[in-house]
Amino acid sequence: SQQGEEDPQALSIQEGENATMNCSYKTSINNLQWYRQNSGRGLVHLILIRSNEREKHSGRLRVTLDTSKKSSSLLITASRAADTASYFCATARISGSNYKLTFGKGTLLTVNP
Amino acid sequence: DTEVTQTPKHLVMGMTNKKSLKCEQHMGHRAMYWYKQKAKKPPELMFVYSYEKLSINESVPSRFSPECPNSSLLNLHLHALQPEDSALYLCASSQVGLRGTPTANEQFFGPGTRLTVL
């Protein structure tokens, strides 16, 4: 079953606006990561937030994590047309001597110039 | 070099064919992964290799056969696939901790191989 569930499934905004995507999950996690995927290409890691962290920033990205609500949000500020992509949250859980990433369904972000 | 490469970029095969997907990284990562991604869906984990040994098989059908010949290479051998196996196959790599110590670092993904099974 899907560990992460993003909403909205699709988001369309104008360049310069902020974009917020949310992710919910069901079980305990080691960390939560956000990835971006341009159409039909590989995924690019954006940011990782550990289970004992509440907020993290990287450039125009701001991620929050609420483990009590099992939810996270990704905020992209001052969006650009180049930010158009699918965004996935992924929860990392320990499995034996490895960890597994389980991806949510993703949010398709369209930034209109 | 922070790149994961995958070949071929596109592959069309019949249900009776045997083909292989290749993945290579030179970042010194000792964990490597295969994911399958159907259109408009998230990636789904298939296999995990840690120190060149298969550590996770997510109940993948035996028509998919992974191989990790050394710490830089990961192959996925395909045989007798079905049309529903058509998808984007993604390879990824990551660091691991000391042997037996789990870590949860970011994964570096290749661009994928777009597979079509006729």
CA distance A18 to chain B (A): 24
Asked if the Cβ–Cβ distance from B102 to A94 is below 8 Å, we say: yes
Residue B19 contacts by C-beta under 8 Å, 6 or more apart in sequence? B11, B13, B77, B78
CA distance B43 to chain A (A): 6
- A107-112 and A10-14 strand pairing: parallel
Asked if the Cβ–Cβ distance from A98 to B102 is below 8 Å, we say: yes
Judged against a pLDDT cut of 60, whether residue B73 lies above it is answered with yes
Residue with tokens 């995507």: A21
Question: Averaged over B32-45, what is the pLDDT?
Answer: 95
Asked if the Cβ–Cβ distance from B104 to A2 is below 8 Å, we say: no
Distance CA B37, CA B66 (A): 17
Q: Would an 8 Å CB–CB cutoff place A2 in contact with chain B?
A: yes
Burial class (CB in 10 A: 0-12, 13-18, 19+), B78: buried
Residue B43 contacts by C-beta under 8 Å, 6 or more apart in sequence? A43, A88, A103, B35, B36, B37, B90
Of A43, A45, A96, Cβ closest to residue B43:
A43
Question: Residues of B at the A interface (Cβ-Cβ below 8 Å)?
Answer: 4, 31, 41-45, 48, 50, 55-56, 88, 90, 92, 96, 100-112, 114
CA distance B54 to chain A (A): 11
Nearest to A109 by CA among A78, A89, A87, A80: A87
The single-letter code of the amino acid at A87 is Y
Q: Would an 8 Å CB–CB cutoff place A43 in contact with chain B?
A: yes
Residue with tokens 């790599």: B93
pLDDT band at A1 (very low <50, low <70, confident <90, very high): very low
A76 is written with which tokens? Answer: 């992209």
> Could you tell me if A33 and A45 are in contact, meaning their C-beta atoms sit under 8 angstroms apart?
yes
User: B42-76 burial, b if ≥16 CB within 10 A, otherwise e?
Assistant: bbbbbbbbbeeeeebeeebeeebebebeebbebbb
Distance CA B91, CA B112 (A): 7
Strand-pair partners of A102: A91
pLDDT band at B108 (very low <50, low <70, confident <90, very high): very high
Residues of chain B contacting residue A36, judged by C-beta atoms under 8 Å apart? none
Asked if the Cβ–Cβ distance from A40 to B107 is below 8 Å, we say: no
- Quick one: closest CA in A to B4, which residue? A42
Phi, psi at A82, each rounded to 5°: -70, -10
Question: Averaged over B46-56, what is the pLDDT?
Answer: 92
Asked if the Cβ–Cβ distance from A98 to B114 is below 8 Å, we say: no
- Residue A99 is predicted with a pLDDT of 80
Distance CA B6, CA B113 (A): 7
- Residue A94 is predicted with a pLDDT of 79
Question: Averaged over B9-33, what is the pLDDT?
Answer: 94
Residues of chain B contacting residue A99, judged by C-beta atoms under 8 Å apart? 102-104
- Residue B100 is predicted with a pLDDT of 53
- B25 secondary structure, DSSP code: E
Distance CA A90, CA A44 (A): 12
